[in-house]
Amino acid sequence: MRLLFLAVLRAHTGNAVTAERIRDHLEAAGHRCFLRDASDFESPADVSDLLSAQPFEAALALHLYRGGRLLQGHGIPFGVIFGGTDVNEDTGQEEKKEVMGKVLEEARFAVTFTDSMKGMVLKQWPHAQGKIYVQSQGIATIPNAAFDWNSFLQRAEIYQSADQLHVFLLVCGLRRVKDPLYLVDAFSEWHQEEPSVYMVIVGPEVDPVFSREVRARVQRALGVRLLGEMPQGDLHAALKSCSALVNSSLSEGMSAAILEAMDLGVPVLARNIPGNAAVVTQEVTGLVFADPQEFIRLAKRLVRDPMLKKELVANGRVYVSRWHSWDVERDTYQHLIGKLERGAEE
Q: In this predicted structure, what is the pLDDT of residue 11?
A: 67
DSSP state of 137: P
Give domain limits for the chain: 2-138+325-345, 149-323
Give 136's DSSP letter: P
Report the percent of the chain where pLDDT is more than 90. 66
Task: Please determine, for residue 12, whether its predicted confidence score (pLDDT) is greater than 70.
Answer: no
Which residue from 287, 237, 278 is spatially nearest to 117, judged by alpha carbons?
278
CA distances from 31 to 24, 27, 120, 229, 230 (A): 10, 5, 32, 31, 30
User: Can you give the pTM of this predicted structure?
Assistant: 0.85
Do 2-138+325-345 and 149-323 come out as alike in CATH topology? yes
The DSSP secondary structure of 39-95, one letter per residue, reads GG-SSHHHHHHHHHHS---EEEEESTTTTGGGGTTS---EEEE--HHHHHTGGGSHH
Contact assessment for residue 105 and residue 127, using Cβ atoms and an 8 Å cutoff? yes
Region 219-227: mean pLDDT is 97
Nearest to 198 by CA among 235, 158, 227, 171: 158
- For the domain covering 2-138+325-345, report its CATH number: 3.40.50.2000
- Mean residue pLDDT across the chain: 91
Q: Which of the listed CATH numbers 3.40.50.2000, 3.40.1390.10, 3.40.50.1100, 3.40.50.300 matches domain 149-323?
A: 3.40.50.2000
- Interhelix angle 306-323/292-304, rounded to 10 degrees, is 110
Q: How far apart are CA 159 and CA 182, in angstroms?
A: 25
Give the tens place of pLDDT for each residue, 241-282: 999 999 999 988 888 899 999 999 999 999 999 889 989 999
pLDDT of residue 196: 96
Mean pLDDT of 9-26: 83
In angstroms, the CA 46 to CA 151 distance is 45
- Asked if residues 50 and 36 have their Cβ atoms less than 8 Å apart, the reply is yes
Question: For residue 344, is pLDDT > 80?
Answer: no
The pLDDT confidence band at residue 340, using thresholds 50, 70 and 90, is: confident
